[in-house]
């Protein structure tokens, strides 16, 4: 029997990626958020930094009307200000901790149920273990602060790339699991978030990495990347649309990702997990609304294909590939 994807997950979109230009906490935040709130394909949204409390108030009214699940992502504030929760400089780390504590307050103002955290830069092999200890301490302080208002707020640490673009401490799956193992016993509301777009950047295979982090994996992002050609407009951790020329991710990879998540029990949680598209217009002429529609089609198709026997899935994908190739052949006069 076909299982609706809405039975197994809450389908979200990362607002500040879908509509570039609002990552710094200003710009057409409300106007673009309204478009997501009006789109009933999505049942969740991930919002970011909104500098003006009046904008946050208006956004909260929209979100309350929408019946969307809300996640608050700290990466726009962190990356814009180069905050580092694992900095070896005491004052820098304290500043970063205070900034994320303020993000917790913003998340509550927006009605968020979860806060997405991000580690700082990777210091290299020799200092990595020490940096992980600092990160664990920083997250502990932030979660202790959040616990003062016992409203069930959840936290996830997002896994980034280490060598290509963000060069983040977290990082490879082993390091992510080390942090989760240290925090989970004291903070059962802590987990990990992995991103399909980062597996190629990390040179990791979801079929290998997901079982390793399965006990701590609470949310995922669906995205694409390009890294083989440094001149590519989307080189690095940019999250272009699915199927972008020179990219790594399209329908087959999302389908396989859904299969790996299913095999490892990700969709069997008591609370349906949030699975968010993290895509943006990158190439000349691309617009947000069409990139969002692209993601919706890929998610629908990938889920449907992941429900088929693997042989049938592969046959369907091969037919699709053949059809596309035929469309690209020049027509004879």
Three-state helix/strand/coil letters over the chain: CCCCHHHHCEEEEEHHHHCCCCCCCCCCHHHHHHHHHCCCCCCEEEECCCCCHHHHHHHHHHHHHHCCEEEEECHHHHHHHCCCCCCCCHHHHHHHHHHHHHHHHHHHHCCCCEEEECCCECCCHHHHHHHHHHHHHHHHHHHHHHHCCCCCCEEEEECCCCCCCCCECCCCHHHHHHHHHHHCCCCCCEEEEEECCHHHHHCCCHHHHHHHHCCCEEEEEECCCECCCCCCCCEECCCCCCCCCCCCCCHHHHHHHHHHHHHCCHHHCCCCCEEEECCCCCCCCCCHHHHHHHHHHHHHHHHHHHCCCHHHHHHHHHHHHHHHHHHHCCCCC
Which residues of the chain, if any, have pLDDT below 50? 1, 323, 325-327, 329-333
Residue 56, pLDDT score: 97
Instruction: Pick one of 1.20.1090.10, 3.90.1170.50, 3.20.20.150, 3.90.25.10 as the CATH number of 7-328.
Output: 3.20.20.150
Residue 332, pLDDT score: 41
Residue 323, pLDDT score: 47
Claim: this prediction has a pTM higher than 0.95:
no
**pLDDT tens-digit series, residues 58-74:** 999 999 999 999 999 99
Q: What is the mean pLDDT of the chain?
A: 94
**pLDDT tens-digit series, residues 220-278:** 999 999 999 999 999 999 999 999 999 999 999 999 999 999 999 999 999 999 999 99
Residue 326, pLDDT score: 46
């Amino acid at each position: 029997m076909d299982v609706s994807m809405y039975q197994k997950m809450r389908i979200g979109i990362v607002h500040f990626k879908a509509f570039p230009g609002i990552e710094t906490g200003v710009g057409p935040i409300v106007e673009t958020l309204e478009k997501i709130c009006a789109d009933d394909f999505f049942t969740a949204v991930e919002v970011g930094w909104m500098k003006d409390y009046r904008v946050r108030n208006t956004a909260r009214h929209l979100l309350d009307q929408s019946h969307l699940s809300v996640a608050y992502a700290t990466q726009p504030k962190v990356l814009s200000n180069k905050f580092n929760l694992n900095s070896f400089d005491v004052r820098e780390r304290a500043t970063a901790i205070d900034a994320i504590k303020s993000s917790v307050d913003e998340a509550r103002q927006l009605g968020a149920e979860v806060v997405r955290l991000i580690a700082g830069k990777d210091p290299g092999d020799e200092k990595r273990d020490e940096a992980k200890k600092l990160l664990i301490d920083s997250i502990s302080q932030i979660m202790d602060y959040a616990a003062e208002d016992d409203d069930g707020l959840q936290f996830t640490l997002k896994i980034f790339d280490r060598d290509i673009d963000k060069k983040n401490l977290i990082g490879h799956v082993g390091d992510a699991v080390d942090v989760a193992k240290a925090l989970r016993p004291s903070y059962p509301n802590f987990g990990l978030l992995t991103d399909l777009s980062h597996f190629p950047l990390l040179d990791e295979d979801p079929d290998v990495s997901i079982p390793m982090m399965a006990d701590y994996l609470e949310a995922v992002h669906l995205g694409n990347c390009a890294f083989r050609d440094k001149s590519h407009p989307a080189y690095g951790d940019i999250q272009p649309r699915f199927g972008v020329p020179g990219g790594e991710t399209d329908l087959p990879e999302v389908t396989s990702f859904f299969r790996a998540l299913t095999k490892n029990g990700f969709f069997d949680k008591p609370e349906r997990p949030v699975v968010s598209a993290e895509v943006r217009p990158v190439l000349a002429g691309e617009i947000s609304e069409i990139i969002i529609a692209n993601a919706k089609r890929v998610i629908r198709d990938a889920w449907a294909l992941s429900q088929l026997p693997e042989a049938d899935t592969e046959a369907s994908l091969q037919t699709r590939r053949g059809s596309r190739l035929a469309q690209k052949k020049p027509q004879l006069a």
